[in-house]
Amino acid sequence: MSTIRLIMALAIIISMSSAALAMEPTGPVITQVRNETAIQPGSTILNTTGGSISTIDINGTQQNLRWKGYVGNVSGKLTLDDANNNTIFDWSIGAASGEVFATRNPGSVNWSGINCSNSTHLSTEDINMNHTNPSDNITRTFSQTSHSEMYVSTNLIRQNSCYSLKTYVNDAPQSSVFEEIVLYDGTNLTNGNTVYATKLEQDSAGFDGRTYDFQMIVPEIGAPSWRSSTAYYFYVEIT
């Protein structure tokens, strides 16, 4: 009899364990606050006398339509819900920590197998996004490997293991906050998707002096004839 009870107890434990889920990033509710772009300057006059030869140096700044940025703040809570989103208890988040993710993949992300993108993944992403300009393609833009350690779902992303960048603070380069890395959720070079990830800060001064919890840039289609926009799907992981 005791053996039967033990087997039944083990069956219950196994059944309960199989129902447990690993913590994974979730799709957030997004409120767009503003969307803006630079005003391109007009012509610059140069008036010289007839019969002269002028040697000039020209320095121009052009808005880069092959990239776009997202900045903002994160709020939320940790909760214990059932399958119908009925809550038994929840915890409001004061200082948000975790990551924000963006991907072009409209389907589910393989969070259990996600890891750093390698150089071949980045080169493939260059091809997929038609980023043929070597000055600002994805490979050139994410050329560093300088970031802190982080967990994505249950996967440990070790320090300085992924291709990364740090977006600007107060209109200037910096090396301490707003880290962004490139991840890949496939098991080989062709069956996965690129996921861009940035760590959450807490009310840090951002690119324009305003305070944000995150900043990130993602590629847009780089073809000269491209006149549309590429949708990105966002996830957040609050820890």
Convert the pLDDT of each residue in 173-219 to its tens digit. Answer: 999 999 999 999 999 888 999 999 999 999 999 999 999 999 999 99
Strand runs (DSSP E) across the chain, as ranges? 67-72, 77-81, 87-92, 98-103, 115-116, 150-152, 155-157, 164-166, 179-184, 194-199, 204-205, 211-212, 214-219, 233-238
Q: What per-residue confidence (pLDDT) applies to 21? A: 59
pLDDT tens digit sequence for 134-175 = 999 999 999 999 999 999 999 999 999 999 999 999 999 999
Q: What per-residue confidence (pLDDT) applies to 40? A: 83
Q: What per-residue confidence (pLDDT) applies to 156? A: 96
Alpha-carbon distance 94 to 25, whole Å? 18
Higher pLDDT, residue 32 or 221: 221
DSSP letter (8 states) at residue 144: B
What is the pTM assigned to this prediction? 0.87
- Region 115-141: mean pLDDT is 97
Q: What per-residue confidence (pLDDT) applies to 198? A: 98
Query: Rounded to an integer, what is the distance from CA 108 to the centroid of its chain?
Result: 16
